[in-house]
Structure 1
Amino acid sequence: PRKQTLFTPSEVNAAIVACGGLDPGINVVVRDICSTLDFAYNVRRAWGVRYGWRGFTDRAAQDWLELTPERVGHIHKEGGSVLGFSNDACDVDAVLDCLQHRGVNQLYVLGNVDACRSAHAIQAGAVVRKMKLSVVLIPKSIQNNFPFIDKCIGFDTVVQGAVEAVDKVVQAARSVQGGIGIIKLGSGEMCLNAVLASGDADICLIKSVAFDPRVVFEYVDKVIQRKGFVIIVVEDGAGEETVRKWRARLEAEGSTRAPVGGSMDECTGKLVYPQGGLESKWGTAHFDVGQYLKEYAYEYFSALNTTVTVRLSTPEWYIRSMPAFASDRIYCSVLASNAVHAAFAGLTDLVVGRMNQRHVYIPLDLVIDPKNGPVIKETSRIYNRMIRTTRQPSFQRLGQAKLITGRGDVRRAFNSNEALADMKDPAAAAAPQ
């Protein structure tokens, strides 16, 4: 603890809220916030806000949990979240009203970059209302997309869960004729790290790198001919525009097959989509690229009169609900303690994290600035490490493919003739096949 603090232990009324989806490590953070409050500052009680931002507005959810060291003593060994979760949007004024009514002066938020925006708005509103409030955020996101920060809580556990899923799909795919195993994961970072750690995937597709499905399956055909099966790891939301056009085509054809993102009404025979249509308050909905690839595979190989067996695995809920592994527990514990020390010192409007192996406090206005957001590109180091692992080519159309060079290596776009006559580059002509 710091020698000088803004808050005295007797006046502290702390609340903890976990926003967004499940992630490994939530329970560890909750436990260690309570532990640090108790051991370092003699604050014996904190409040657990149930079901994310909904806990500030919904009457049924406003029955907050009283968190004591005895109650949270063993929750770090459990998966899921003792606080529950929801994806509800944040009503800033309602949150501030609730905090004022309950006399909360320390708010610990576990959430993603969107939660950072909400926390920043809450702090700004507290200043206007002249509330004595410290808002500290702990980074929680399977997308691992916080700028400046090395990793979010639970990310090592998420990657290990994804690797286990890949391993199981490999065993299934190699046991059938023409096995095509598709694993759909929730973020590009998870896909890339799982592919690197597993070493068994043949193809990795992510949102930020475009691909032509026909070029993909020309390569899939060659891999099956070579080794008998193929493993594809794909990020949820990849190829969104391609899937959107596919769904529109099914609608135009009056297909009785329910396209991705909708279901067939048995009474009317019309396609029914989730409430809110394509747009929601969280942005454009991502269609199920995994289902699209599965159906495309059957159509493609049916035209070739080739027998394949396609299996789609979506293990995200299993992965999200895993208890945190040892390395993540330690990381979560350190961030939780640092969050409490920051709040007691009067620091606010910040996120705790580790940057270049040093634990730091980062202002929220820097975190939410779009210019600082990390983007995975074809030239990113982690993407090129993945390429060296899978040995996959570029899956863009011939003539649109980009050469990626580094240390004398040139990766060429794949096509049926294995040549890039359109690309007048001497390095491309000399590249290994």
Structure 2
Amino acid sequence: MRQEGDMGNTELDFTIERLGECHIPSPVKGIRFVDDDGRVLYHSHLQEMKPWLDEGIHPPAMEAAGPREKVFFDPSRIACGIVTCGGICPGLNDVIRSIVLSLCHHYCVQKIYGFRFGYEGLVQRYGHKPLELTADSVAQIHEIGGTILGSSRGPQEPSEMVKTLEDLNVGILFTIGGDGTQRGAQKIAEEATRRGLEISVIGIPKTIDNDISYIQATFGFETAVAEARRATYAAHTEADAARNSISLVKLMGRDSGFIAAYSVLVNSHVNFCLVPEARFTLDGLLRALKERLERRGHAVVVVAEGAGQNLMEATAERDASGNIKYGDIGIFLRDAIRDYFRKASLEINLKYIDPSYIIRSMPANPHDAAFCLLLGQSAVHAGMSGRTNMVVSFWNREFTHVPITLAVSQRKKIDTSSMLWNSVLAVTGQPDMM
């Protein structure tokens, strides 16, 4: 299964860094161990693998995740740390809980720190005292949204963060966050290596937009789509109840429109889906919207937050994570639609819905909760085996390991020639080019 978008995967190096050889028998009992040679194919179609097969070499493959028979760290002698960074997302507490329970019950690790308020918690001058996490303290946290550790945006000095880890004897740091967080994790791993410290840094990719490269699914995405469905259902109900009614729904998706696209497919109530990957003109959209009203009397429009940025005044401002501050496309379209139909002397009923922060704060649904559990366990197994500078991935329905370098190489985006986008066009009936 090829990643959405143009990845140019002619040469892929999925080699995972390791701190050293594993000599300690694993304390994990009663489960099947994964061989170090286990691999998950990157491609899923024979035709895609043909160039490598024709040359008699192995096609690209990711290292399989899972428990190893021997581990690098002595569980009785190390501490572990967990940090959550960036915006909140369904499933954060589930991942924290999974990591803690696996460390406690599978490996009998005695000391687990929860660093407060993102990477600030790893910098001593901020004064954020870490939480000491136990199996009892995380027993019920999966039932609530957000993160018990708090979060923040923005980079911190790697040398200061590594000093904190060294002072606390932390052997494994689990970084839960998006591409900015994982870039920070990469710098922490590199600084630890430069100092000659045996510190494993394992990333668990967190992005509600599902836009991290070489990872087919990130936790929280399915919950987000399920909650977005409530918004599109309400939007359709409102639009269908009044003459010449338009419902406009803004969803998450800075650079990738996966939530918007899948929200269209779950109930077929949406008539226009606007995503960052497919440019549109304001005139084209408004004319198509007018034609829809004339034909059917109502319309539902879903727009991802990063869509249509070329229609608004550009800004050079950036947030604490280094992301360009986007204009509010929802408000922009709301006002543009009102102005257009007022000038056309056509009375409309316009409803604007932005459920973004409601969606972000929800607890994980059952599927995401199970997914978080397996991600957390896979991260623990990777860390205990001495792997570092990597993220846990999900690829071809298997949990795998991916170097951070590849994961943050570029944003995963919808391929507008793919079956996914073709299905969106078929369901909405919108013009391919507006």
For the superposition of Structure 1 and Structure 2, which TM-score range results when normalised by the shorter chain? 0.7 to 0.9
The answer as to whether partners of 2:79 and 2:110 remain within 8 angstroms in 1 is no
1:349 counterpart residue number:
389
Output the amino acid matched with 1:33: I
Aligned to 1:385: 423
SS of alignment partner, residue 311 of structure 1: strand
SS at match of 1:93: helix
Residue pairs, 1:129-148, within 5 angstroms = 129-148=195-214
Whether the 8 Å CA contact 1:19–1:110 is kept in 2: the answer is yes
Work out whether 1:24 is the aligned partner of 2:63: no
What secondary structure sits across from 2:170 in the alignment?
Answer: coil
Q: Which residue of 2 aligns with 1:320?
A: 360
Q: Deviations over 1:140-168 (max 9, x none)?
A: 10111122222001211111011111111
From the superposition, tell whether residues 116 and 393 of structure 1 become closer, same or farther in structure 2 (CA, over 3 Å): same
Q: Which structure exhibits the higher relative contact order, with contacts defined as CA atoms closer than 8 Å and separated by 6 or more residues?
A: 2
* Structure 1: runs of 5 or more not aligned: 246-260, 262-276, 397-433
Within 5 Å, which residues of 2 pair with 1:199-214?
Answer: 199-214=268-283
Give SS of 2:214's match: coil
Deviation at 1:227, TM superposition (A): 2.2
Residue 117 (structure 2) pairs with residue 51 (structure 1): yes
Q: Does 1:278 align with 2:347?
A: no
Instruction: Name stretches of at least 5 consecutive residues in structure 2 with no aligned partner.
Output: 1-27, 29-67
Write the letter of the residue equivalent to 1:346.
G
The verdict on how the C-alpha distance between 1:6 and 1:381 changes in structure 2, with shifts beyond 3 A counting, is same
| Distance in 1 separating the partners of 2:242 and 2:127 | 48
1:293 Cα deviation from its structure 2 partner: 0.5
Query: Equivalents in 2 of 1:342, 1:127: separation in Å?
Result: 17
For 1:23-42, list aligned pairs within 5 A.
23-42=89-108
Partner residue, 1:301? 341
Q: Secondary structure at the match of 1:7?
A: coil
SS at match of 1:108: strand
Structure 1 pair 232–98 and aligned structure 2 pair: CA distance change class (3 A): same
CA distance in 2, matches of 1:8, 1:101: 18
**Of residues 267, 273, 287 in structure 1, which corresponds to 2:327?**
287
Q: Closer, same or farther in 2 for the Cα pair 1:66/1:376, shift >3 Å?
A: same
Deviation at 1:308, TM superposition (A): 1.1
- The question of 1:163 aligning with 2:163 is answered no
CA distance in 2, matches of 1:207, 1:159: 17
1:280, distance to aligned residue in structure 2 (A): 4.2
RMSD: 1.7
Which residue does the alignment assign to 1:118? 184
TM-score (norm 1): 0.81
- Superposed, 1:247-266 pairs within 5 Å as none
Instruction: For 2:385, give the aligned amino acid.
Output: A
Offset of 1:78 from its aligned partner?
1.2
C-alpha distance in 2 between matches for 1:141 and 1:98: 26
Q: Whole-Å Cα distance in 1 between the matches of residues 373 and 355 of structure 2?
A: 27
Q: What is the aligned partner in structure 2 of residue 240 from structure 1?
A: 309
Q: Partner letter of residue 87 of structure 1?
A: R
The answer to whether the Cα contact below 8 Å between 1:177 and 1:307 also exists between their aligned partners in 2 is no
- For residues 203-253 of structure 1, the C-alpha deviation after alignment (integer angstroms, 9 at most, x for no partner) is 0001121111111111111211222211110011211121117xxxxxxxx
User: What is the Cα deviation at residue 89 of structure 1?
Assistant: 2.5
Checking the alignment, whether the CA contact within 8 Å between 2:425 and 2:432 is kept in structure 1 is no
Match of 1:189 among 258, 269, 294: 258
Equivalent-residue separation in structure 2 for 1:127 and 1:154 (angstroms): 32
Q: 1:209, 1:377 within 8 Å by CA — same for their partners in 2?
A: no
Q: Name 2:163's counterpart in structure 1.
A: 97
Instruction: Rate the CA distance shift 1:209–1:51 in 2: closer, same or farther, 3 A.
Output: same
Counterpart of 1:333 in structure 2 is 373
Q: Give the fraction of aligned pairs with identical amino acids, expressed as a percent.
A: 29
Question: What is the distance in 1 between the residues matched to 2:415 and 2:363?
Answer: 31
Q: CA deviation at 1:58?
A: 6.7
Deviation digits for residues 305-336 of structure 1 (CA, Å, limit 9, x no counterpart): 11112222111111111111111111111111
Secondary structure at the aligned position of 2:270 is classed as coil
Residue 244 of structure 1 aligns to a residue in which SS?
coil
Which residue identity does 2:206 align to in structure 1?
K
Matched pairs, number:
364
Q: Using the TM superposition, name which of 200-209 and 146-155 deviates more.
A: 146-155
- Of residues 147-156 and 30-39 in structure 1, the stretch that sits farther from structure 2 once superposed is 147-156
Give how far 1:15 is off: 0.7
- Residue equivalent to 2:51: none
Q: Check the 8 A contact 2:245/2:297 in 1, yes or no.
A: yes
In 1, the alpha carbon distance for the partners of 2:385 and 2:405 equals 20
Per mean C-alpha deviation after superposition, the further-off stretch among 223-232 and 151-160 is 223-232
1:376 matched residue in structure 2: 414
Partner Cα distance (1:128, 1:62) in 2: 26
* 1:198 and 2:238 correspond: no
Question: 1:216–1:395: 8 Å Cα contact kept in structure 2?
Answer: no
Contact 2:243–2:348 (8 Å) recurs in 1:
yes
In 1, distance between residues paired with 2:326 and 2:124? 28
What SS does the aligned partner of 2:223 have?
Answer: helix
C-alpha distance in structure 1 between counterparts of 2:234 and 2:156, whole Å: 38
Give the counterpart of 2:291 among 222, 226, 230.
Answer: 222
CA deviations over 1:8-46 (Å, ceiling 9, x no partner): 112121110111111111111111111111111111331
Q: Structure 1 CA distance, aligned partners of 2:194 and 2:329? A: 45
CA distance in 2, matches of 1:110, 1:146: 13
CA change 1:59–1:121 in 2 (3 A) is: closer
SS in 1 for 2:352: strand
